[in-house]
């Protein structure tokens, strides 16, 4: 029984079983792009959330129809949820699945196309939410 446990532990510590960090630079680059764009959307969502918070205490702040609280609050939650959380999660899961399975990303170009389509959809959603 202890010999089996020892064998499992040594296999888990075997450096040949886990791919090195630089094994697939294309996957690392795509992961970085997803996380970087997620961070951009986090900053944008946080800024819009700050505007929404100020509007609760000072309703005359930025008196434009497209920056009313009823439009800014859904834009804030959408950007934080769909922009930051989803993009970062998808990017990191692309990296984790590729690394643990020791298989390179099938098409980094397709992952980049999906990233750009997602960003365009987020931008379109932000504009339509603020436009009312």
Please list the alpha-helical segments (H only) found in the chain: 2-13, 25-57, 69-78, 86-101, 108-131
Residue 5 lies in a domain: no
Residue 83 lies in a domain: yes
Residue 69 lies in a domain: yes
Cα gap 70→130, rounded to integer Å: 9
Q: How many domains does the chain have?
A: 1
Q: Which domain holds residue 67?
A: 33-131
Residue 13 lies in a domain: no
Q: Is residue 11 over pLDDT 90?
A: no
Residue 23 lies in a domain: no
For the question of whether the overall pTM of this predicted structure is more than 0.95, the answer is no
Residue 75 lies in a domain: yes
- In tens, the pLDDT along 77-117 reads 999 999 999 999 999 999 999 888 888 889 999 999 999 99
Residue 19 lies in a domain: no
């Amino acid at each position: 029984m202890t010999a089996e446990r020892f064998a499992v532990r040594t296999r888990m510590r075997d450096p040949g079983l886990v791919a090195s960090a630089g094994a697939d630079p294309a996957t690392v680059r795509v992961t970085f792009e997803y996380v970087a764009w997620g961070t951009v959307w986090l900053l944008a969502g946080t800024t819009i959330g700050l505007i929404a918070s100020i509007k609760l205490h000072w309703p005359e702040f930025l008196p434009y129809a497209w920056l009313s609280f009823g439009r800014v609050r859904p834009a804030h939650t959408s950007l934080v949820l769909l922009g930051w959380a989803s993009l970062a999660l998808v990017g990191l899961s692309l990296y984790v699945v590729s690394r643990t399975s020791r298989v390179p990303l099938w098409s980094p170009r397709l992952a980049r196309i999906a990233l750009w389509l997602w960003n365009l959809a987020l931008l379109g959603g932000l504009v339509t939410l603020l436009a009312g």
